[in-house]
Amino acid sequence: MLAIIGGTGLTRMQGLNVISSNKADTRWGEASGEILKGQLAGQEVLFLARHGHPHTIPPHKVNYRANIQALKDAGASAIIAVNAVGGIHPDCEPAGLMIPDQIVDYTYGREHTFFAEDLDEVVHIDFSWPYDEKLRQILIGNARSLDLAALEQGTYAATQGPRLETAGEIRRLANDGCDIVGMTGMPEAALARELDLPYACVALVVNMAAGLTDEIITMADIEKALHDGMGKVLDLLQASIKSYDEV
């Protein structure tokens, strides 16, 4: 069963016919909110709001371990994560989409692994390609079919937050080869890999990153991009849910 993790702007899944709603308590603590199980696009799916509903949990306080564990326990076989991001690559534009294929982790102080204590042996996962390629290709194929302008590869810079970055930090990220910047991509992706859950990201660009335009980044502009772009995200998710069930 496919699971959707909703980020900023997606705390409820439009069109989801909820069958059950369960508070998720794991050995790692409570998840960000209830795990919703329901029907979407004719398929059974799970949904979890990363920041809670309403949006109250900042990126550095999300219990990523509990979220991923709770989805696994609820029967998830793969995860599509939705992330609101800033655009660094010149081809990015507000309300545009990217399906990243790489990630660079700049976060710190987060509980980032299930394999930290009480181990029989040290565990090292292969994280060369952090996003599941089969799941990425489902998203890419459906974006093409829907005629959505989606960049089909790129590197996600995961920063600590909750503040936005400085112009100098964005220059550094660009020099490091990063194309988008967000605050929730890690350790979520790595934790999914640790539990053998295929994981891919739909990134919605909500602003151009600091220093790349003459404009000051405002929440009003971010909210407008969320409003303009979330319909594309929902269309892509619905089509991909159908495709996932077929493979």
How many other C-beta atoms are found inside a 10 Å radius of the C-beta of residue 116?
Answer: 10
Q: Which residues of 62-93 are buried (b: 16+ CB within 10 A; e: fewer)?
A: bbbbbbbbbbbbbebebbbbbbbbbbbbeebe
8 is in an annotated binding site: yes
208 is in an annotated binding site: yes
The values of phi and psi at residue 145, to 5°, are -65, -35
159 is in an annotated binding site: no
158 is in an annotated binding site: no
Amino acid letter for position 79 = I
209 is in an annotated binding site: yes
31 is in an annotated binding site: no
Cα 147 to Cα 84, 99, 142, 236, distances in angstroms: 21, 14, 8, 10
Residues that constitute the known binding site for phosphate = 8, 50-51, 184
Residue numbers belonging to the annotated binding site for substrate: 183, 207-209
Which residue numbers belong to the known binding site? Answer: 8, 50-51, 183-184, 207-209
